[in-house]
Structure 1
Amino acid sequence: MSQCCLQGFQWDGTPEGKESTLANNKAYVTGSNPDVAIMVIADLFGWTFINERLLSDHYAKEADATVFMPDFFGGDVIPSEIIRDNSRLREFDLSGFHKHNAKEIRWPELLSCVKALRSQYKRIGVLGYCYGGWSSFRLGSQSHSPPLVDCISAAHPTWLTEEEIDDIGVPVQILAPEVDPLFTPELKAYANSVIPTKSVPYDYQFFPGVEHSFATRGNPNDEKERRAMVRGKNAQVAWMREWLHG
């Protein structure tokens, strides 16, 4: 991860869900479908970040699902004020975050949360942003039998490896901004060459002129970014509806 994972804009609005738990993790929960669930894996700003709570509300309504956004960062919360003042980016210990939330540390929590959903809901989708990129792919791995989830969507994925791309086994969607030092042109090309050989439905959405984090922290007052955010949200809603309801 890099400093681009901390930049962006905070949106206005009032989330409509509630705080609860999933497995042993605190979670933001919104929606009331008894059969269909979506797990949102947040970016670095985590489960309390208003932007991603507002997005979760949209998914609950528009994709007709109960949406869970758990805390996968052990209670660590980045002050939202940092997003409004780039001069404060250095206040956040990014290397420490990497160490505390490494894949091997958080994977058991991701696994237990999805298993808890699978025990209660008939259909499960995963939406991952930034940090949620590698984890959504791993949850959608073909190594899980039966599958842990029914579909995934990853926006500007971080820490995603070629091996995790190789192992995908469920319908997969990627939202890829043009400018992204973490989901590089080389990794984009790899995904687009390998995933079509995996016999799984694949939807690659390319967003010219926008940067990493546009889907969760784009500027709503910039027409280019606003249109990209809306298009991204609509694409993810359509993907979830197709594979969780279709």
Structure 2
Amino acid sequence: MSGIQCCENPPALSSISGTGHVEEIGGLKCYVSGPSESNLGVLLASDVYGYEAPNLRKIADKAAAAGFYAVVPDLIHGDPYNPNNAERPLPVWIKDHGTDKGFEDAKLVTEAMRSKGIVSVGAAGFCWGAKVVTELAKSAYIEAAVLLHPSFVTLEDIHAVKAPIAILGAEIDKLSPPELVKQFDEALQAKSDVDAFVKIFPGVSHGWTVRYKEDNEAAIKCADEAHKDLLNWFAKHVVNE
């Protein structure tokens, strides 16, 4: 795994960012935003920097503004990756935070969301979280999935996906390069029973949707476009039956 690209532009983490609040759902701390009376839910699975990343919470707030009950669970249990800790490089951190454990935790959160009255759940995953969401999409846990600059996702995973899935890739990405994303697209086009949308954003790097810099207008514009694609996908598939 290319630790350098995966961890570019680390966010300034803050537990008080966003317009929502933190509560426990499914045994995990979660940032929650949106109308509690909504029966349409969205789960956002973070990258290695975790659920306190301000830009990630802004995406949850956007989903909330679109009418979804948005939940960002702390799938890494208060232990975000710290690029300044030379004694714990990314491969070591990953061993402590496998996506398999993230998947098990995410299942608990989706189940808890449904127990609150949510009838349809979409899940979006960023980098590390994209693998978690892919596992959800291989089962009946969610109604729709969005992967944004995914890490660890394989062609075999894509072949096994059952839920409608959108994949938003970056032109400059060593973790899921355009060649691999195009293979994902070809595999999904061959699955007539799964609705799919695949898009590669030109001129952007891995992590661009959540780790853009606030003073970079071009980066913000590209991130906003991806966020709109995410919300459009959920508007299409996360619906009342």
With normalisation by structure 2, the TM-score equals: 0.89
Note if contact 2:149-2:170 (Cα within 8 Å) is conserved in structure 1.
yes
Shift, 1:53, TM fit: 1.0
Query: Structure 1 residues 14, 103: closer, same or farther in 2, change over 3 A?
Result: closer
Further displaced range: 106-115 or 127-136 = 106-115
CA distance in 2, matches of 1:97, 1:24: 22
Shift, 1:34, TM fit: 2.7
Shift, 1:50, TM fit: 1.2
1:8-23 counterparts in 2 under 5 A? 8=9, 10=11, 14-23=17-26
Q: Secondary structure at 2:210's aligned position in 1?
A: helix
Partner of 2:5 in structure 1? Answer: 4
Shift, 1:92, TM fit: 5.4
Per-residue CA deviation, residues 154-206 of structure 1 (Å, 9 max, x unaligned), is 10000111221111111110111100010023321220110111221111122
Note if contact 2:31-2:73 (Cα within 8 Å) is conserved in structure 1.
yes
Counterpart selection for 1:133 from 121, 130, 140: 130
Q: How many residues align?
A: 234
CA distance in 2, matches of 1:158, 1:130: 5
Partner of 2:56 in structure 1? Answer: 52
CA distance in 1, matches of 2:219, 2:78: 30
Q: What amino acid sits opposite 2:96 in the alignment?
A: H
CA distance in 2, matches of 1:112, 1:10: 27
Shift, 1:215, TM fit: 0.2
Partner of 1:28 in structure 2? Answer: 31
Counterpart selection for 1:66 from 59, 62, 69: 69
Partner of 1:149 in structure 2? Answer: 142
Residue 77 (1) aligns with residue 103 (2): no
Shift, 1:114, TM fit: 1.7
CA distance in 1, matches of 2:87, 2:203: 29
Note if contact 2:170-2:177 (Cα within 8 Å) is conserved in structure 1.
no
Q: What amino acid sits opposite 1:69 in the alignment?
A: V
Per-residue CA deviation, residues 120-152 of structure 1 (Å, 9 max, x unaligned), is 3111000110011111111011xx3xx211101
Shift, 1:118, TM fit: 2.9
Query: Structure 1 residues 43, 193: closer, same or farther in 2, change over 3 A?
Result: same
Further displaced range: 165-174 or 94-103 = 94-103
Partner of 1:219 in structure 2? Answer: 213
CA distance in 2, matches of 1:212, 1:92: 22
Shift, 1:14, TM fit: 4.4
Note if contact 2:43-2:122 (Cα within 8 Å) is conserved in structure 1.
yes
Counterpart selection for 1:162 from 155, 158, 175: 155
Residue 173 (1) aligns with residue 160 (2): no
CA distance in 2, matches of 1:104, 1:152: 17
Question: More helix by proportion, 1 or 2?
Answer: 1
Further displaced range: 114-123 or 166-175 = 114-123
Alpha-carbon RMSD across the aligned residues, in angstroms, is 2.1
Note if contact 2:75-2:106 (Cα within 8 Å) is conserved in structure 1.
yes
Q: What amino acid sits opposite 1:209 in the alignment?
A: G
Shift, 1:78, TM fit: 4.2
Counterpart selection for 1:240 from 214, 223, 234: 234
Q: Secondary structure at 1:194's aligned position in 2?
A: helix
Q: Secondary structure at 1:138's aligned position in 2?
A: helix
Q: Secondary structure at 1:125's aligned position in 2?
A: strand
Residue 196 (1) aligns with residue 176 (2): no
Q: What amino acid sits opposite 2:183 in the alignment?
A: Y
Partner of 1:122 in structure 2? Answer: 119
Note if contact 2:20-2:34 (Cα within 8 Å) is conserved in structure 1.
yes
With normalisation by structure 1, the TM-score equals: 0.87
Note if contact 2:170-2:178 (Cα within 8 Å) is conserved in structure 1.
no
Shift, 1:89, TM fit: 7.2
Partner of 1:103 in structure 2? Answer: 99
Note if contact 1:6-1:89 (Cα within 8 Å) is conserved in structure 2.
no
CA distance in 2, matches of 1:58, 1:105: 27
